[in-house]
Structure 1
Amino acid sequence: MSDARAIEAVTETLRALVDDGVKAVAPGAAAVVHPPHQVSTTARNAQVNLFLYQTEIAPALRNDPPPGLAPGESGEPALPLVLRYLLTPFAPDGDDLLAHRLLGGALQALHTRPVLTRAELAQTAPYSDVARQADSIRVTWHPVEEKDIYSLWSVFQTPYRLTAAFEVRAVLIGSRRPPRTPLPVLRRGTDGRGPHTSAAVRSTTPRVDTVRYPAGRAAARTGETVELHGANLAGVGAVRLTHVNTGAIADLPVPAAPAHPGSLALTLPGSLPAGVCAVTLLAGAPRAELPVGPWYLALAPRITGPLPATVTRDASGNAEFALTAVPPFAPGQQVLLLLGEHAYRARTATGPAAVFALPQAPPGAHRVRLRVDGVDSLLVPDPGADPPAYDPTQLLTVT
């Protein structure tokens, strides 16, 4: 890849090529690099102006990894640029025949050397490492419609002159962000041979399709049993639960002979805080994560007291309420008290206790939910009941 001076280096190399071409047909002529409106039309020497008027991204190369990376390494893709130039001859005294000769010499030079070689780039622009980029830099004709070329000249508020357009692609400018180069893997699998393959149509990889909670609820609580349903679960030795927010981990052993090879029953421990937990499958001794998953389950908090309860507002209409819950709150967890349609963030939440300030608390009786890291306590104990009902104890009255 190239450095930030690659555009400058390509332009200077093109100018040198054009300069050789015009000198071959008109001794004393020169190639210059100026905006079109700043080229002197009264100069006594013939000139051909090289003007970079547009840069674009080469989309086919936009996501290519940088060269030189070993397997497993990653880096920011290079910025692949397409440079578009205008080539305009300026002849003294408005001599169009000389202008045509100059343009022919310039185009012949570019046609003869359609690829900017590494030697040319290194010799003309030693200040840039563009000569070391792996991809070739090619010069090609770029057709421009009549209305577009006139529009370009009108921008510079100068009379139109005979002009040819061409493009150069691709100039790869590298990122300054260093690549990621992890250490090589010492061994793949227990025998160092990597994963085993099977010609069977049916997959032999363990997987979890659904997580089923007790009574058809959307979450489970500490001490309750959840079921993982999937396929090829008979060889799973344990299940690892990793709390998404806190990173707390619990490894749960599974029965040596599960009731069904496509399901596992797990009793949720009290060592994990409420919230969302990632589920991964473990096998072997020492236990190693299988290359599948993770899946996710919701561990709901349980309010242990004191509900139902009554709180009294002060003269300003504010109130305060404290409750306890299991599992205990972990540092950094987001704890909310939901009173009907109102939500209040915990002022403190340490261990099993949380304190909530209720500014402008609405009077009346409110159903209570405790939300920890996005998982609510279970206000409807049995959604399958007919008819379903709210838990009558989860009630807070504001007076």
Structure 2
Amino acid sequence: MSDFSIVHDVGLELRRGIFEALSSTPDTDFGLAGNIERISLQSPAADLDDETLATLYLYRFGISPFLRNQHPLPDAEDPGAFHHPPLPLQLHFLFTPVSKEETTNLLLFGRVLQHLHDSATMSSINGEPLDDSHSGASPALRVSPEPLEPEALYGLWTAFTTPVRLGTGIRVETVAIDSALPAEHLARTRTMATALGLSGRQP
């Protein structure tokens, strides 16, 4: 089940992947010293610890237009039960190198783009496979760099009230939050209509 904690868990897994990629880079030591907290989940405009090398900040979300209006989903074990469809989200993160050394920032930036290119999907979180929300979502998430247009970039850093820094957007989709409502048992005529995508009772 994709509980409401999936938003939190995806952020941690995304950071974990970036940390492992940076830590295993051949011939380059980014100075992480085995400490994942050096990649902060705070805003890049926050009062960051001097040891922080980069931030990974969830700055906005959207609703997936492709999975927004799904019909009730049948239960695989109970033929008469239907689940409310999940809430399908697109999560938008901002990765920002914040080292005092600009050379390090450029290396961090390039390595993370390389990692995102090579690891375009996320199929597990903390070693546990993702489920498909009763077939209402994919069991794998798409992860991709998201270039920010100049207007959006300027608006974002204006909101942070800090000078613009080098960084990249990262989009993760589609993150499904399952409904907390219990499954419903529908009458046979209503079940048929639901399966066919129709409304109202059938003769």
Cα RMSD between the aligned structures?
2.5
Q: Does 1:163 align with 2:162?
A: no
Q: Does the CA-based 8 Å contact 2:116-2:145 persist in structure 1?
A: no
| Counterpart in the other structure of 2:5 | 5
Ranges in structure 1 where 5+ consecutive residues have no aligned partner? 186-290, 293-399
% same residue:
30
> Residue 378 of structure 1 aligns with which residue?
none
C-alpha contact 1:21 1:108 (8 A) present in aligned 2: no
Q: After the TM superposition, which residues 227-246 of structure 1 pair with which residues of structure 2 at under 5 Å, given as runs? A: none
Q: In structure 2, give the amino acid aligned to 1:131.
A: L
Instruction: Check conservation: 1:138, 1:168, Cα contact below 8 A.
Output: yes
1:28 corresponds to which letter in structure 2?
G
Superposition map of 1:42-61 within 5 A: 43=50, 45=51, 47-61=53-67
Quick one: distance in 1 between partners of 2:8 and 2:52? 24
Matched, 1:106 2:109: no
What TM-score do the two structures reach when normalised by structure 1?
Answer: 0.41
The Cα shift of 1:174 comes to 0.7
For residues 116 and 74 of structure 2, what CA distance do their matches in structure 1 show?
31
The superposition leaves residues 140-175 of structure 1 with CA deviations (integer Å, 9 ceiling, x where unpaired) of: 222321011011011111121101112000011011
Give 1:89 shift.
Answer: 0.4
Instruction: Please give the alpha-carbon distance, in whole angstroms, between the structure 2 residues aligned to 1:75 and 1:132.
Output: 14
Q: Which amino acid aligns with 1:110?
A: L
What displacement does 1:36 show? 1.5
Question: In structure 2, what residue type is equivalent to 1:82?
Answer: Q
Choose between structure 1 and 2 for higher RCO, CA contacts under 8 A separated by at least 6 residues: 2
Shift of 1:26: 2.8
Between the aligned partners of 2:13 and 2:116, the Cα distance in structure 1 is 11
1:184 deviation in Å? 6.9
Distance 1:36 1:107, change over 3 A: same
C-alpha offsets along residues 343-389 of structure 1, whole Å, 9 cap, x if unaligned? xxxxxxxxxxxxxxxxxxxxxxxxxxxxxxxxxxxxxxxxxxxxxxx
C-alpha contact (below 8 Å) 2:97/2:109 kept by paired residues: yes
Q: Is the 8 A contact 1:36 1:49 kept in 2?
A: yes
Aligned residue for 1:180? 184
Q: Distance in 2 between matches of 1:2 and 1:91?
A: 35
Give aligned pairs, total: 176
Which string of whole-angstrom CA distances, capped at 9 and with x for unpartnered residues, describes residues 247-272 of structure 1?
xxxxxxxxxxxxxxxxxxxxxxxxxx
Unaligned runs of 5+ in 2: 33-37, 190-201
Is the 1:116–1:137 Cα contact (8 Å) retained in structure 2?
Answer: yes
Aligned to 1:267: none
Between the aligned partners of 2:47 and 2:10, the Cα distance in structure 1 is 21
CA distance in 2, matches of 1:131, 1:39: 34
Offset at 1:69? 2.6
Counterpart of 1:274?
A: none
Q: Secondary structure at the match of 2:169?
A: strand
The whole-number CA distance in structure 1 between the counterparts of 2:72 and 2:144 is 25
Specify which structure has the higher proportion of helix.
2
> Larger C-alpha radius of gyration, 1 or 2?
1
Q: CA deviation at 1:181?
A: 2.2
- Secondary structure of 2:19's aligned partner: helix
**Residue 26 in 1 paired to residue 25 in 2?**
no
Secondary structure at 1:108's aligned position in 2?
helix
Change in 2 beyond 3 A, CA 1:115/1:68: farther
